[in-house]
Amino acid sequence: MRAVAQRVSSARVSAGVDPIFVMGPGLLVLVGVGSADTEAEAEQLARRLVHLRIFDDDDHHMNHSVLDVGGTLGVVSQFTLYGDTRHGRRPSYSAAASAERAAPLIEDLVRVARGLGVPVVCGRFGAMMEVALVNSGPVTILLDTDPRPA
């Protein structure tokens, strides 16, 4: 699984004019599922996100996690994180999992994160969404459960 985690002051995800979620401080995470990913990768990524130390302590050092600061985890599925642009100008998405395979793994990630005590809000799987955020820092971190990403 691949993720782009952004430390945010606030974020809003909507489908057209209908808000899907609005969140305050926390992590907004765009998550892509690869065709070979399993529940193990979903659980691993959830744990990494919940415990990722990118929030400031009193000395302005990034020593706290979203769990430590009482923030929210916003999860938005995004298959385009598996876009391969090495050949030509149109990305290939052949390494991305099918919707039928990806949706349950996103749900697993959310379930594990909630089980670790973090409030989680989610985008709408497969929907055309608009994402608005205020990146705090800015801090943006790339995560990948594959030790050798393509």
CB 55 within 8 A of CB 66: yes
79 given a catalytic annotation:
yes
Q: Is 62 exposed, middle or buried (0-12, 13-18, 19+ CB in 10 A)?
A: middle
125 given a catalytic annotation:
no
117, 108, 118: which is closest to 77 by C-alpha? Answer: 108
Q: Which of 79, 85, 140, 145 is catalytic?
A: 79
Q: Which of 6, 55, 72, 78 is catalytic?
A: 78
Residue 81 identity (one-letter amino acid): L
Q: Which of 44, 80, 85, 125 is catalytic?
A: 80
44 given a catalytic annotation:
no
**Is the Cα torsion angle 118, 142, 109, 75 positive or negative in sign?**
positive
Q: Is 144 exposed, middle or buried (0-12, 13-18, 19+ CB in 10 A)?
A: middle
Q: Which residues are catalytic?
A: 78-80
